[in-house]
């Protein structure tokens, strides 16, 4: 009897292990998790789901190659870099008919000009989430993040492009500068700011701001929307001197073992119902025309989630920077090490 049972159990595991699988690598807190089991149920494909917290972490992990992913979710500038370094597969769009739902504004973008490698997932801006019960002044400049009044009440993004970017914007420079002197200046500014910073965080920023642990935080807009939904004292501002606008897209890394499974997953994520579940849950801004129509007024009318064209005028996208990235790495390491 026991033997039979053992054979049956072993058989079950062998069967399970043989299931078609895809490996998905996404940002933390960036999906309605019920979507994963729905995909598994509907397609019979098992999903192994891992998360990362910055583009740079994702890049290092994919480049190291140890684990091969079938779908990943980099941002614009990182997609460009991965295309240039021959790290991405061209997507067969015949297998992604739901691509038709992607708003034209998010097609033909400069990081993937012919729409060959990437499918937009969410987009947004970088700005300041602040607690109006703790900040009694207008927030319209990056300078406030250097105001000693807010010592240990400031959260910065633990993400080198974003934090160096904020310092560059404060100095009036481009987010894409390759000028070493300007980068050094930005690095110095971040070092000066460090005693005022409570913590460098990524996904933890939402809980900390909702709990009132800090007064000001540099955030990606979707996290601001989530924070505002949970704490009415929270507000979001894009400084007058401008900011970064970004798009995160689904891509298939070279070396993917199940490209067709990856395309099925990408298409599934673009079905109207699934795109709606995801945007409703994570509150990031969707590029999906039909899913957007299903959203509640409060989020559609929230300028943090869906800013006016005018508000987006003074934004810049990150470009891939080539060799100068070494300087970014060095400067960021120095800032964090102090
Ligand atoms: C969600 C991460 C958002 C990605 N936790 C911003 N590009």
Q: Give the ligand 1 atom nearest the CA of 28.
A: 5
* pLDDT recorded at residue 65: 82
First-to-last CA distance in the chain?
Answer: 65
Which of 3.40.50.2300, 3.40.50.1100, 3.40.190.10, 3.40.50.1260 would CATH assign to domain 2-123+246-300? 3.40.190.10
Smallest CA separation from ligand 1 atom 6, residue = 220
* pLDDT recorded at residue 14: 52
Residue that wins the pLDDT comparison between 163 and 338: 163
* pLDDT recorded at residue 10: 58
DSSP string for residues in 266-332 = HHHHTSHHHHHHHHHHH-PBP-BHHHHHTS-HHHHT-TTTS--HHHHHTEE-----GGGHHHHHHHH
Q: Is the CB of 248 under 6 A from ligand 1?
A: yes
Residue 86 has pLDDT above 80, yes or no: yes
pLDDT band at 12 (very low <50, low <70, confident <90, very high): low
User: At a CB cut-off of 8 Å and minimum separation 6, what does 260 contact?
Assistant: 95
CATH of domain 124-245+309-337: 3.40.190.10
pLDDT band at 134 (very low <50, low <70, confident <90, very high): very high
Q: Where are the beta strands (DSSP E) in 116-256?
A: 119-131, 154-157, 197-201, 216-220, 234-237, 243-250
* pLDDT recorded at residue 316: 95
Q: What share of the chain is helix, strand, coil (3-state, %, to 5)?
A: 45, 20, 35
What spacing in Å lies between the alpha carbon of 220 and ligand 1's midpoint? 6
What spacing in Å lies between the alpha carbon of 32 and ligand 1's midpoint? 14
Contact 89, 193 (CB under 8 A): no
What mean pLDDT do residues 292-305 have? Answer: 98
* pLDDT recorded at residue 18: 80
3-class SS of residue 243: strand
What mean pLDDT do residues 86-102 have? Answer: 98
Break the chain into its structural domains and give their ranges: 2-123+246-300, 124-245+309-337
Structure confidence by residue, pLDDT tens digits, 31-53: 999 999 999 999 999 999 999 99
Residue 69 has pLDDT above 80, yes or no: yes
Of all residues in the chain, what percent carry a pLDDT higher than 70? 94
Nearest to 295 by CA among 284, 307, 280, 305: 280
Structure confidence by residue, pLDDT tens digits, 168-226: 999 999 999 999 999 999 999 999 999 999 999 999 999 999 999 999 999 999 999 99
Torsion over CA: 301, 303, 305, 308 (sign): positive
Q: Is the CB of 30 under 6 A from ligand 1?
A: yes
Q: Is the CB of 75 under 6 A from ligand 1?
A: yes
The reply to whether 124-245+309-337 shares the fold of 2-123+246-300 is: yes
Residue 7 has pLDDT above 60, yes or no: no
What spacing in Å lies between the alpha carbon of 73 and ligand 1's midpoint? 10
What mean pLDDT do residues 101-117 have? Answer: 98
Q: Is the CB of 318 under 6 A from ligand 1?
A: no
- Per DSSP bridges, beta strands 46-52 and 21-27 are parallel
């Amino acid at each position: 009897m026991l033997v039979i049972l053992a054979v049956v159990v072993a058989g079950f595991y062998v069967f399970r292990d043989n299931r078609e699988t895809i490996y998905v690598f996404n940002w933390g807190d960036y999906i309605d998790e019920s979507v994963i089991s729905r995909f598994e149920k509907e397609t019979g494909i098992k999903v192994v789901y891992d998360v990362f917290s910055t583009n740079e972490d994702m890049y290092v992990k994919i480049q190291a190659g140890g684990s091969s992913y079938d779908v990943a979710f980099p941002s614009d500038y990182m997609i460009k870099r991965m295309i240039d370094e021959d790290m991405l597969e061209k997507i067969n769009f015949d297998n992604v008919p739901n691509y038709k739902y992607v708003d034209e504004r998010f097609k033909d973008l400069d990081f993937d000009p012919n729409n060959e490698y990437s499918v937009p997932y969410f987009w947004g801006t970088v700005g300041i989430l602040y607690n109006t019960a703790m900040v009694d002044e207008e927030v319209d400049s990056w300078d406030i993040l250097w105001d000693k009044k807010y010592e240990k009440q400031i959260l910065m993004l633990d993400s080198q492009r974003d934090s160096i970017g904020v310092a560059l914007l404060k100095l009036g420079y481009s987010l894409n500068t390759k000028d070493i002197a300007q980068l050094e200046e930005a690095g110095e500014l971040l070092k000066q700011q460090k005693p005022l910073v409570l913590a460098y965080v990524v996904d933890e920023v939402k809980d900390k701001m909702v709990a009132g642990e800090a007064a000001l935080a540099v955030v990606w807009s979707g996290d601001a929307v989530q924070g505002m939904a949970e704490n009415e004292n929270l507000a979001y501002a894009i400084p007058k001197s401008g900011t970064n606008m970004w798009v995160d897209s689904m891509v298939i890394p070279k070396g993917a073992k199940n490209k067709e499974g990856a395309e099925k997953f990408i298409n599934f994520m673009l079905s109207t119902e699934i795109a709606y579940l995801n945007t409703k849950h994570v509150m990031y801004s969707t590029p999906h025309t039909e899913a957007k129509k299903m959203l509640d007024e409060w989020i559609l009318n929230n300028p943090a989630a869906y800013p006016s064209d005018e508000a987006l005028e003074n934004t810049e996208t990150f470009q891939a920077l080539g060799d100068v990235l070494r300087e970014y790495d060095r400067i960021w390491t120095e800032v964090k090490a102090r």
